[in-house]
């Protein structure tokens, strides 16, 4: 992934700024820190790219989702519509908010579909947690209209889609609140980190306070600050934020190169019979972190994966069998294997997770193979990769396998 490909002097400089002050905590210690505020700077860099009015850096993309749910007022007993195809943190955030996940169908955008959301809405639905998967975006205009029609909150998990946009507005900014991930595997990394974004000042105030034990951050004596709400510790440290500063500055370049490399691969692989691609609601806004191939059916995709493995083709994900990104493998969730009881186990689940019927999602993810786009690829490397992919797919789809 691009973030881990481009480490260099810029990241070292930002980290060294912090080490020279010795102040690793994001708040207070004004006199000792020599005006070095990396978490604040990280937030400003995110705002420059997304044009968000407010941004707040936290410890992970997962905690950014938790802040977004809290800022939207989602809590105990609220039903929240979620996708079955996502990194499981999205669903975990709903559970640990005390809310109740309701799974709905995705479509070829790889995100929740408006039709899937509409079919899952009940009188108890309070929010849609819309996850923008694999660098692209959902059919966001239709989903925004549906949420307004039904008077339910829209919260966006854009953990995999920082830098993606729809008709000029960046994902994460269509609902009450949004979130980005800056973990080790994203378009930009802080090692561990996330950023909450919103254009709603009250939502921002709630998130900023909620993420730091309820501190209001007014004054210069932390021990005497007021606590307008109850919160917890989701703070980011200055060292992680320092890496995030340098990495976020690289994102415009990374997206440019991603798009060039993805366009090259798409042009080559589109010549292969039986191969199509995931659908982007706005191709011009693609962050292009993944090339998402769709095979004719699940059986074909499994044969292709087998050929890829036999030929040593790396850098791809077959999400249908992935342990953390698709519901088929979430037995611990389906059977509520928890360390301690959650609200859902007291209130009752809105669905029987062991008997979910999501045929469209099964069909789409069963056909899906994703390649992470590398920003450092040369044209020769891409040509060689395309040749291997083509040979494997043609072998897997040949009549002898039919």
DSSP 275-289: -EEPPPS-GGG----
Structural domains in the chain plus CATH codes: 2-250 (3.40.640.10), 252-322+361-401 (3.90.1150.10)
pLDDT > 90? residue 211: yes
Active site residue 186: yes
Contacts of 122 (CB under 8 A, 6+ apart): 79, 102, 350
Per residue in 299-341, pLDDT tens? 999 999 999 999 999 999 999 999 999 999 999 999 999 999 9
Q: Residues of 220-231 as b/e, b for ≥16 C-beta within 10 angstroms?
A: eeeeebeeeeeb
CA distance 325 to 86: 5
Check residue 235 and report its DSSP letter.
P
What average pLDDT does this structure show over 101-120?
A: 98
pLDDT in the model for residue 70:
98
Instruction: For residues 19-29, give the mean pLDDT.
Output: 97
SS3 label, residue 359: helix
pLDDT band at 79 (very low <50, low <70, confident <90, very high): very high
* Nearest-angstrom CA–CA distance, 188 and 55: 16
Region 209-237: what's the mean pLDDT? 96
- Pick the catalytic residue: 176, 186, 257, 302? 186
pTM of the model: 0.97
pLDDT tens figures, 31-76: 999 999 999 999 999 999 999 999 999 999 999 999 999 999 999 9
Distance of CA 95 to the CA centre of its chain: 17
pLDDT, tens digit (0-9, with 9 covering 90-100), for 371-399:
999 999 999 999 999 999 999 999 999 87
CA distances to 35, 131, 162, 351, 373 from 134, rounded to whole Å, are 37, 10, 10, 27, 11
Q: What is the pLDDT of residues 252-262, one digit of tens each?
A: 999 999 999 99
Look at residue 400 in the predicted model and tell me its pLDDT: 59
Pairing of strands 79-82, 100-103: parallel
Alpha helices in 22-107 (DSSP H): 38-50, 61-71, 89-96
Please give the Cα distance from 295 to 299 (Å, whole number): 9
CA distance 270 to 400: 22
Give dist(CA 320, CA 327) in Å, integer.
9
């Amino acid at each position: 992934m691009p973030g881990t490909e481009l480490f260099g002097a810029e990241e070292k400089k930002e980290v060294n700024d912090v080490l020279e002050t010795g102040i690793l905590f994001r708040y207070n210690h004004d006199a000792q820190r020599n005006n070095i505020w990396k978490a604040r700077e990280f937030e400003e860099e995110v705002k420059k790219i997304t044009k968000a009015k407010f941004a707040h850096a936290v410890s992970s993309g997962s905690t950014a989702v938790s802040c977004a749910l809290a800022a939207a007022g989602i809590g105990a007993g609220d039903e929240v519509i979620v996708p079955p195809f996502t990194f499981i943190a999205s669903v975990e955030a709903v559970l640990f908010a005390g809310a109740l996940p309701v799974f709905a169908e995705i479509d070829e955008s790889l995100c929740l579909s408006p039709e899937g959301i509409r079919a899952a809405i009940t009188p108890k639905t309070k929010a849609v947690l819309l996850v923008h998967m694999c660098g692209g975006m959902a059919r966001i205009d239709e989903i925004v209209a549906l949420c307004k029609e039904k008077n339910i909150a829209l919260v966006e998990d854009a953990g995999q889609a920082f830098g993606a946009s729809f008709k000029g507005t960046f994902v994460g900014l269509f609902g009450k609140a949004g979130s980005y991930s800056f973990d080790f595997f994203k378009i930009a990394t802080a090692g561990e980190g996330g950023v909450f974004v919103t254009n709603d000042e009250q939502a921002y105030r709630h998130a900023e306070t909620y993420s730091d034990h309820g501190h209001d951050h007014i004054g210069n004596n932390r021990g005497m600050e007021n606590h307008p709400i109850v919160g917890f510790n989701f703070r980011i440290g200055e060292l992680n934020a320092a890496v995030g500063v340098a990495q976020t500055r690289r994102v415009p370049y990374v997206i440019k190169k991603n798009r060039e490399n993805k366009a090259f691969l798409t042009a080559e692989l589109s010549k292969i019979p039986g191969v199509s691609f995931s659908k982007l609601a706005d191709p011009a806004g693609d962050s292009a972190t993944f090339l998402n191939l769709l095979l004719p059916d699940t059986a074909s995709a499994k044969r292709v994966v087998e050929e890829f493995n036999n030929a040593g083709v790396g850098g791809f994900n077959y999400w249908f069998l992935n342990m953390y990104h698709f519901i088929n493998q979430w037995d611990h969730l389906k059977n509520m294997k928890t360390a301690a009881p959650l609200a859902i186990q007291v209130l009752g689940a809105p669905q029987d997770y062991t008997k979910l019927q999501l045929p469209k999602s099964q069909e789409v993810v069963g056909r899906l193979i994703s390649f992470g786009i590398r920003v450092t690829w040369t044209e020769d490397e891409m040509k060689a990769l395309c040749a291997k992919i083509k040979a494997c797919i043609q072998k897997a789809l040949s009549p002898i396998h039919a």
